[in-house]
Structure 1
Amino acid sequence: MANSTKILIIVLFLVLIFQGNGTCLPSDISVRQAQTGIMVKGKSEWSVTVINKCECGQKNVILSCPGFQTVEYIDLLVLTPSIGTGYCLIKPGQIIYKDVVNFKYAWDYSFSFNPISSQSTCS
């Protein structure tokens, strides 16, 4: 009886470890960017890829983007910079599952996009 209880506890512990606690964190958001080699209005174009690495969806994903500027059109349904705050919202009002969000911008140099806030949609 004691051995079966120990085994059950070990199995439950392993399930919790591999399942996680059902909460996604901003650190589960990966942001990568690279120059495309294209010039837009005399500025270098940069391609940005945002990936949610968590099993659950995340919404209201906010990136720090201090001083962000671009001469290239950005779909505000993909990236919404908040003027003067240094924050950018990814896909406002939408849940980002294990999908990839891409956008491009053009400026003299790359900007840093660091995940700082998100809301997990796990129950």
Structure 2
Amino acid sequence: MAVLVKSLVALFFFICVVHGGSSICTNEDLKINQVSTGTQVGGKAEYEVSIENTCSCVFVDIILSCDGFQTQEPIDHSILNKDGSDCTINNGNAIAPSSTFKFKYSWDQMYNFSLKNSQIACS
């Protein structure tokens, strides 16, 4: 039993050294939420999308799956750039730890965005 405990402690310290003592992040640490703003744009309901980084690392190159996404309200391509069924967020730039990136769109109904890919950068 003591050998098992020592092995687990050694593994824990190895993981901390490899990752610089920071927490290990996954794509699940990016939380995507939406709310209706209560505003109409061109006769369509407006929604605000929030992408929150709940990890202590930076996320870059965030791509959402957005096949079929449409908006009445123009969105600056540096904020959300649709390319086929992929939407690049924030021009591929970082979303810092404990921060939230937001954008708005308007359509007949709320679109169900999902995370397709991202890169995690820990120092």
Task: Tell me the TM-score normalized by structure 1.
Answer: 0.79
Aligned to 1:58: 59
Letter in 2 for 1:87: D
| CA displacement, residues 42-65 of structure 1 (integer Å, 9 cap, x when unaligned) | 000001101112211111101111
CA distance in 1, matches of 2:110, 2:92: 26
**How large is the Cα RMSD of the aligned pairs?**
2.7
Q: CA deviation at 1:10?
A: 3.0
Aligned to 1:112: 112
Letter in 1 for 2:121: T
Task: Tell me the TM-score normalized by structure 2.
Answer: 0.79
CA distance in 1, matches of 2:40, 2:92: 32
Q: CA deviation at 1:89?
A: 0.7
CA distance in 1, matches of 2:92, 2:107: 27
- What is the aligned residue count? 116
Aligned to 1:48: 49
Aligned to 1:75: 76
CA distance in 1, matches of 2:120, 2:10: 26
CA distance in 2, matches of 1:77, 1:39: 23
Q: 1:30-49 to 2 correspondence within 5 Å?
A: 30-49=31-50
Q: CA deviation at 1:9?
A: 6.3
CA distance in 2, matches of 1:122, 1:20: 9
Q: CA deviation at 1:119?
A: 0.9
CA contact (8 A) 1:37 1:45 kept: yes
CA contact (8 A) 2:22 2:56 kept: no
CA contact (8 A) 1:63 1:117 kept: yes
Q: CA deviation at 1:77?
A: 1.4
CA distance in 1, matches of 2:42, 2:8: 62
Runs of 5+ consecutive residues of structure 1 not aligned to the other structure: none
Runs of 5+ consecutive residues of structure 2 not aligned to the other structure: none
CA contact (8 A) 2:23 2:55 kept: no
